[in-house]
Amino acid sequence: MIQIMTFNIRYGDAQDGENVWTNRRELVADVIRSYGPTVVGLQEALRYQMDFLTEGLPDYGVVGVGRDDGIRSGEHACIMYHRGRVSCLADGNFWFSDTPDLPGSKSWGNTLPRICTWARFSDLALNRCFYVFNVHWDHASQTAREKSGVLLLDQIKGRCHHDEPVVVTGDFNVESDNPAFMRLTTDEIGLRDVLRTAYRQEGAGGTFHEFSGTEDGGRIDAILVSPHWRIHGAHIDHLNEDGRYPSDHFPVTAEIE
C-alpha cells in the first residue's frame, strides 16, 4: 500500500497576520506526521519551509527546485518521500511554458513561473517502480492551465519507463469540471481523480478555504492515478488546532495499491 498526500502549505513569506508561517509550521509538520505519507507533493513551499519540515521529519527526503531560478529561489512544487519505504531513482523539473527546460520561463498568459517536479521511486518492500508528478498551475490564465495540461500529459507519455504507474499531485487552481482538468481525466492515459472515484460523485467537499475552515470552497487540489493503481480510499484532511489551520488549503490524501 502506498500513501499519497498533496498539500499546498501556503507561501511562507505571505503577510497572513495570525496565520503567518511561524504560527502554523508545527501544524503543517503534524499533518504530515499524523498521516505518514509515503510520498507528499507540496506546493508554494519556499526553501526554508522545506528545510523546517525535513528537519522535523527526518525520515523524509525531498526533491525539487525553486521555480524562479531552477535552484533555490522562489516557490517549489517539491516532493517529499519516506526514505524507509521508497528510494528515489531519478528526479527532474520542467516549467509550464513554451521552453519547459528553461528555469523561470513563463508563457501563455501566466504572470508567474509555474513548475512541475517529478520523481521516479522504487517501492523498497515490493521492488516495483512508479512515477510522481507534482504540479502547481496558474491561478489566473485559463489558456495557461489548458496548455499546462497538454504539456503535463506529454511529459507523462514521454517518461523513460513508459509502462510504470503514475501519480499526479497538485494544486490545479481549477475544479474538476474545468476543461483543463478534464483533459487529464479523459486522455488515453486514463488518469483517475481519487476523490471522485472514492466518493463516486463529484462532490467531496472543497480544499481551498482561506484559513476559514469552510468545506464549501473550491476543490482545486487533487491526486490523480493511472489505471495501474487500485484506490483503497481518499479523503480531505481537516486537522486544526482550536480553529487554527495549517494552511489555507486542506491536504488531500489517498491510499493506493
For residue 210, report the phi and psi dihedrals to the nearest 5 degrees: 55, 40
Please, where are the H alpha helices in the chain?
21-35, 47-56, 142-157, 179-186, 194-199
The residue ranges of every structural domain in the chain are: 2-256
* Architecture label for domain 2-256: 4-Layer Sandwich (3.60)
Distance separating the N- and C-terminal Cα atoms of the chain: 5
What pTM does this model have?
0.97
Predicted pLDDT at 203: 53
Place of cell 510504470: 164
Report which listed range, 159-163, 200-204, 224-228, is most confident: 224-228
The 10s digit of each residue's pLDDT in 32-72 is 999 999 999 999 999 999 999 999 999 999 999 999 999 99
180 neighbors 137 (Cβ within 8 angstroms): yes
Angle separating helix axes 142-157 and 179-186, nearest 10 degrees: 20
Span 182-202, pLDDT tens digits = 999 999 999 999 998 887 655
